[in-house]
Amino acid sequence: MASLVLRYPWVSSPFVVSAPMKVMSGPALAVAVSRAGGLGFLGPGAKTQDTNDDLEKVKALIQKGKAIPTTNSALPIGVGYQLWTDDLGTAIATIEKYKPCAAWLYAPRQGTKDYDDWSSKIRRVSPETQIWIQIGTLKEAKQLLQSTELPDVIVVQGAESGGHGRTSDGMGLMSLFPEVADALASSRIPLFAAGGIADGRGVAAALCLGASGAVMGTRFLAASEARIRRGYQDEIVRASDGAASTTRTHLYNHLRGTFGWPEEYTPRTIWNKSFVEQQQGKSFEELKKLHDEAAKDGDNGWGPEGRLATYAGASVGLIHGVKDAEDIVRETQNDALERIQRLFPNQRDACL
Ligand SMILES: Cc1cc2nc3c(=O)[nH]c(=O)nc-3n(C[C@H](O)[C@H](O)[C@H](O)COP(=O)(O)O)c2cc1C
């Protein structure tokens, strides 16, 4: 924890992170989370080059508002990349220019080899940028220990998570996290927990599992600063019972024209008519036609009668409204602290 406090001096305890959600975690969200005492990540752009434009906006937002205290020249927000599709050369040029405080790497084609390649190049151009790697299995965690470039932080992603996660070898955070923590104990690399955390209860639980902090993705889709369409955001608030209302499927990737994800990864999404009709046997061509028509129908394209992708995690039932990111961070932190205090009245810092 001490090294994290030095690296991210504006972050208050417990350490709350907004996940780098592709396109949807834009500059306004990332800066608002960091300004509130968390760590905000920019999601990968539709194209790798888009992160450049996002970081330009981040710089402007940081200069405009209340100062975020830092101890080095790194920008107080992180950036996310999907290694299977993002262009390394473009990413390196962007990181060299803007020096975000952290780069979050996910979904390589060639496991540790890709992580080492990206990490060494990032560290060469921007030693201030810490390397965060998200894994979803014990095997991946152990493989990271063989890296020539050990990450600074490892995010352990449970199967509850929204967006892409493990296709068939994922596991709930409650049992995955402690086993990974035991396997990596000697490395002393800080571990963060992700997947299904949407409020102070989840953060408190993650800390008691041994996490240095908690990552939330789906909760921040319902932040007023998220770069998300209203119809999609309404669905995040409306949906409940993540076990029943979400599923892992590549259907929506394919309907949107995204192919080529490594087979270990499949996204969790709230299902709607596209999925129901696929299960009933409708052809992909027909579903695609209906999907593309729905995409022209604005916010009506989402919802139980809609057809558009609604990537979200199993925690949707815990999200009851759209709030400013600052309120999400502060309320989550305060709630987690209160719960820990109630459990351990004489040991305030039991899990921190
Ligand atoms: C809409 C959406 C998009 C996501 N995009 C990415 C991404 O581009 N890169 C990444 O590493 N993780 C991505 N994730 C996964 C998050 O990093 C994180 O594991 C997840 O949000 C945690 O679970 P939660 O959604 O239950 O909070 C995404 C998640 C969501 C919900």
Looking at ligand 1, which residue's alpha carbon is closest to its atom 17? 19
Q: List the residue whose alpha carbon is closest to atom 30 of ligand 1.
A: 163
Looking at the CA of residue 220, tell me the nearest atom of ligand 1: 27
Return the best residue to mutate from 164, 171, 270, 308 for the ligand 1 pocket (most ligand atoms within 8 A of CB). Answer: 164
- Atom 6 of ligand 1, nearest CA residue: 21
Q: What is the DSSP letter of 162?
A: S
Sequential pLDDT tens for the chain (352 residues): 778 988 999 999 999 999 999 999 999 999 999 999 999 999 999 999 999 999 999 999 999 989 999 988 899 999 999 999 999 999 999 999 999 999 999 999 999 999 999 999 999 999 999 999 999 999 999 999 999 999 999 999 999 999 999 999 999 999 999 999 999 999 999 999 999 999 999 999 999 999 999 999 999 999 999 999 999 999 999 999 999 999 999 999 999 999 999 999 999 999 999 999 999 999 999 999 999 999 999 999 999 999 999 999 999 999 999 999 999 999 999 999 999 999 877 765 666 6
Quote the ligand 1 centre to 248 CA distance (angstroms): 13
Helices (H), the chain: 2-7, 27-35, 50-64, 88-98, 111-125, 138-144, 173-184, 200-209, 218-221, 230-238, 242-245, 251-255, 273-279, 284-295, 325-343
- The enclosing H or E element of 153 equals strand 153-157
What's the gap in Å between 215 CA and the centre of ligand 1? 9
pLDDT at residue 347, as a whole number:
64
Closest to 172 in 3D by CA, of 115, 265, 243, 112: 243
Look at residues 224, 310, 324, 321 and name the one whose alpha carbon lies nearest to residue 271: 310
Please give the biggest Cα pair distance in the chain: 62
342 Cα–ligand 1 center, Å: 31
% helix / strand / coil in the chain, to the nearest 5? 45, 15, 40
| CA 224 to ligand 1 centroid distance, Å | 17
List the residue whose alpha carbon is closest to atom 15 of ligand 1.
Answer: 163
pTM: 0.97
Which residue, by CA, sits nearest to atom 5 of ligand 1?
Answer: 21
Dihedral sign, CA of 85, 137, 132, 120?
negative
Counting atoms of ligand 1 from 1, which one is nearest the CA of 218? 25
Ligand 1 pocket (Cβ < 6 Å) reads: 19-22, 24, 43-44, 80, 82, 104, 106, 134, 157, 160-163, 194-197, 215-218, 311-313, 315
Query: 347 C-alpha to center of ligand 1: Å?
Result: 33
Domain limits, CATH 3.20.20.70, in the chain = 2-228+319-343
> 345 CA to middle of ligand 1, Å?
34
- Cα–Cα dist 249/113, whole Å: 27
Residues facing 134 on adjacent strands: 155
Q: Does domain 2-228+319-343 have CATH number 3.40.800.20?
A: no
